[in-house]
């Protein structure tokens, strides 16, 4: 059988577990296909920048790619439901949400010629600051790093100045004073050495957003059947491995932050209730945008959790 090479642009650094999981997937596919399918990962926006990865896979410029799924929210609200603050904030909730929303997500992407291979969550999003923060009011005027339309909206509702910064650019953004504060997960904070720029990490447990890895359907169908089977099998394994890895990072990365001198605390009840209220507002807005299909998914989610 002819050998095939796929390019896989991804947005995050090599030190991130999400990227390591992609490398492992590529290696496992190569092995299981007896060297027929060779996937080359191009991490950290090195081949194609995060906002352009989806289009590049869709148009066949590359065959496979990874993105932060809620970035697709402006296109369809179904893609951003996992990043509404305090809606599905634990792994159990995130899993339930994925189960009820997976068919819609897969279908919507397949209509665009993209086959979903796996979806892996980041650990829950924590909040990083230079000074102790007990309420939203104390953030007034601060510049908060955001990573998509949805977090920009969150920033607006919090009364901060939202500034879009890619994960790989966090250190420069802090050191040049473009941002003062951010939401992200423990592993991304470790990768960007958050202790160099912030002192306090609040374990907000606010949301557990997912990355999605998808392949151009034409490229996929061009593979021999036996290799297609390998890709799907290894994708299922990568998803399971990614979820376990994410939970391990959720436990371990806060320790790493503390070891490097950061002060770790739960958020204050006031700050939490203020953020929760913002989350409720965002969910209400989401339901208006998503209509009856959205309502169905949310109802299925709540009944799954019962």
Binding status of residue 122 toward ligand PCA by CB under 6 A: yes
Q: Please give the size of the binding site for ligand PCA, defined by CB under 6 A.
A: 8
Nearer of residues 19 and 184 to ligand PCA, judged by Cβ: 184
Binding status of residue 43 toward ligand PCA by CB under 6 A: no
**What is the sign of the dihedral through the CA atoms of 264, 266, 269 and 274?**
positive
Binding status of residue 68 toward ligand PCA by CB under 6 A: yes
Closest distance to ligand PCA from the beta carbon of 247 (Å): 14
Closest distance to ligand PCA from the beta carbon of 167 (Å): 3
One character per residue 160-199, x = contact with ligand PCA (rule: CB under 6 A) = -------x----------------xx--x-----------
- Residue number of the CB closest to ligand PCA reads 185
Nearer of residues 68 and 301 to ligand PCA, judged by Cβ: 68
Nearer of residues 123 and 230 to ligand PCA, judged by Cβ: 123
Taking CB under 6 A as the criterion, the residue among 127, 147, 202, 207 binding ligand PCA is: 147
Closest distance to ligand PCA from the beta carbon of 119 (Å): 13
Nearer of residues 24 and 45 to ligand PCA, judged by Cβ: 45
Binding status of residue 128 toward ligand PCA by CB under 6 A: no
One character per residue 195-224, x = contact with ligand PCA (rule: CB under 6 A) = --------------x---------------
| Three state DSSP letters for the chain | CCCEEEEEECCCCCCCHHHHHHHHHHHHHHHHCCCCEEEEEECCCCCCCHHHHHHHHHCCCCCEEEEEHHHHCCCCHHHHHHHCCCCCCCHHHHHHHHHHHHHHHHHHHHCCCEEEEEEEECCCCEEEECCCCCCHHHHCCCEEEECCHHHHHHHHHHCCEEEECCHHHHHHHHHCCCCCEEEECHHHHHHCCHHHCCCEEECCCCCCCEEEEEEEHHHHHCCCHHHHHHHHHHHHHHHHHHHHHHHHHHHHHHHHHHHCCCEEECCCHHHHHHHHHHHHHHHHHHHHHHHHHHHHHHHHHHHHHC
Q: How many residues does the chain have?
A: 306
Binding status of residue 19 toward ligand PCA by CB under 6 A: no
Closest distance to ligand PCA from the beta carbon of 174 (Å): 13
Give residues in contact with ligand PCA (CB under 6 A): 68, 122, 147, 167, 184-185, 188, 209
């Amino acid at each position: 059988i002819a050998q095939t090479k796929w390019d896989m642009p991804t947005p995050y650094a090599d030190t991130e577990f999400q990227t390591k999981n992609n490398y492992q997937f590529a290696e496992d596919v190569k092995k299981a296909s007896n060297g027929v399918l060779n996937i080359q990962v191009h991490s950290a926006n090195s081949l194609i920048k995060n906002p352009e990865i989806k289009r590049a896979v869709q148009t066949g410029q590359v065959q496979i790619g990874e993105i932060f799924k809620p970035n697709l929210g402006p296109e369809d609200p179904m893609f951003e439901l996992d990043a509404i603050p305090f809606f599905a904030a634990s792994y159990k909730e995130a899993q339930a949400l994925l189960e009820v929303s997976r068919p819609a997500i897969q279908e919507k992407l397949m209509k665009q010629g993209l086959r979903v291979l796996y979806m892996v969550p980041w650990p829950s999003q924590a909040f990083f600051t230079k000074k102790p923060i007990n309420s939203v009011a104390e953030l007034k005027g601060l510049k908060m790093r955001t990573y998509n339309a949805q977090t920009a909206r969150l920033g607006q509702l919090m009364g901060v100045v939202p500034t879009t910064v890619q994960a790989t650019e966090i250190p420069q953004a802090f050191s040049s004073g473009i941002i003062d504060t951010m939401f992200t997960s423990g592993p991304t904070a470790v990768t960007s050495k958050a202790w160099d720029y912030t002192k306090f990490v609040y374990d907000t447990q606010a949301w557990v957003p997912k990355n999605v890895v998808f392949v151009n359907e034409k490229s996929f169908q061009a593979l021999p059947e036996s290799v297609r089977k390998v890709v799907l099998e290894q994708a299922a394994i990568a998803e399971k491995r990614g979820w376990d890895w994410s939970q391990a990072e959720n436990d371990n990365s806060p320790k790493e932050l503390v070891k490097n001198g950061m002060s770790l605390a739960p958020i204050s009840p006031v700050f939490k209730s203020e953020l929760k209220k913002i989350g409720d507002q965002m969910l209400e807005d989401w339901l208006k945008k998503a209509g009856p299909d959205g309502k169905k998914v949310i109802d299925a989610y709540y009944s799954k959790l019962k």
